[in-house]
Amino acid sequence: MSIKIYLPTSFYYLKKPTNLYGQVQINEDNVVAYYIVEAADLEFRDKTINHESSNMRFLGSILNDDFSADQNQYLKFNMRLCFTYNSSQSNISLVYIGITPEYLKHIKLILYEKQMMRNLFVSGKSVKHLPIEYDNNDSNDCDFLELSRLTQSPVETQNNPKTNTKKSLLYVLNIIADSPITMFKYIAENIFVNSIMVHTTIYKHFKEWQLTCDKRSCLANIALDRILGIILMLILLSLAAQPGDFLIQISHYVIDELYILLKVLEGSPIGLKLNIHLNNFFLDCFKYHIELWSTFLDFIEPLVRQVFLAIGAFGCLGLTFQMALLVDLISIIGLHSHCFYIYTKVLYNVERKGLSVLWQVVRGNRYNILKGRTESHNYMNRQLYLATIFFSAILFLFPTTLVYYIVFAALKALTFATLSIFEFCRRKILYLPIESCLKRLLKGCHDIDCLQIKDFSSHEKAFLIHKQQKINVTVYKITTL
């Protein structure tokens, strides 16, 4: 059996009669851990000493070296630990432990800072938010977690009038702050509205945001999201002049750029000789598509001008909701370019598959489905003739189709990259460890992986004499990397 005593560093140099309070825990590896957390002025009574201010247990005392006590006196006062001090030493010394079996050869006295353990983080979360059954294979980590829980500030009494007033005020403010999201939730879950917006980015984000709120694990992220959203809302609604015109200008700018792109493809782009007839067919088809889209934008222009007002109003919900709505707007603005990509992709896949099949026919081969292999086959002359004609036609048309496919695939990739950037920012705002970073900067919080136990330098080797036996007492201190 071994014993570990966790003692605050300030208590190690305490030189006045003091009672020590904390908890005792026996680990699975038969190690007894004493967690000393609190101290109070020394009071000897005829009965067992108890701590009435919290759930801490009385563990022992710090006494003057002149105090002469024997085993019976320690048991009378129900002491598990006893330290003494004198004028010649700067620190206290351990003179008695309640559990001293004959085979005990070593005792670890571990010093710690209460503020450091109180502000401990595990995997980006405060120890207060971790479940009690949180397990870790390292016994030191388990001791650190238990010590951090014990050193947390005591909870205020429920009957305190100031506490009740503060809770009531926070409850009212919480209802006011949650009213926009409650209204949006009621609208989004409506059967008719839900069938329309179930596939939109803003609805998917609403579900993710609601799940984050239910876990109550990223309150700082949600608060920052709301603050940034309100700031952007004020900018859009008050500082920007006619923000709806900006969206109209972007839409027409995209249309003009597509016209310029088609004009470049009309000739010989980068020296490529395209098929004239197929090229003209593509240009007529895409230009007609763009004209339809331009006419549609002109038709819904009064409605589009009010969209930025909707983006601003979504600032009550948060900046991430504005980003999600902006992603949907970009998808709508680039809908015609997405259609161009689908058209060229389908035609490209058809021609590529046709060339692959006709190439086997021209070579006199065919694919045997039953045997799962390519084997030779005797085709009739008319079959070879038709195959050669179609193969040649598709082969000469394929470069033109390939050029259009590459151009619109690149345009699609650019749009997807833009949307991915907004998606990345939106998710990071919700899941960045903002609370832990702020606490580490303001309060000096530390992650549990940064803690280490180092030997504490001492001029003399400490011993505890029990029944004429010397038990080593090694002093350590918990520090950070």
| Tokens at 165, concatenated | 């007033």
Q: How far apart are CA 249 and CA 304, in angstroms?
A: 11
Query: Contact, 154 vs 56, CB < 8 A?
Result: no
Q: How far apart are CA 174 and CA 183, in angstroms?
A: 14
Closest to 246 (Cα-Cα) out of 262, 156, 254: 254
**48: how many CB neighbours lie within 10 A of its CB?**
9
Closest to 270 (Cα-Cα) out of 407, 392, 397: 407
Domain ranges of the chain: 2-154+445-480, 191-437
Query: Contact, 14 vs 62, CB < 8 A?
Result: yes
How does strand 106-112 pair with strand 2-8?
A: parallel
| Sequential pLDDT tens for the chain (481 residues) | 788 888 888 888 888 888 888 888 887 777 888 888 888 877 654 444 444 445 688 888 888 877 666 666 676 677 888 888 888 888 888 887 877 666 677 788 888 888 777 777 666 566 665 655 555 555 556 788 888 888 876 544 445 566 677 777 767 777 776 777 777 777 777 777 777 777 788 888 888 887 777 666 677 778 888 888 888 888 777 765 566 677 777 778 888 888 888 888 887 777 777 888 888 888 888 888 888 888 887 887 777 666 666 666 777 788 888 888 888 888 877 787 888 899 999 999 999 999 988 888 888 888 777 887 877 888 888 888 888 899 899 899 998 899 999 989 998 999 899 889 988 888 888 777 776 666 666 555 566 767 778 887 655 556 666 555 677 788 888 887 6
φ and ψ of 313, to 5 deg: -65, -30
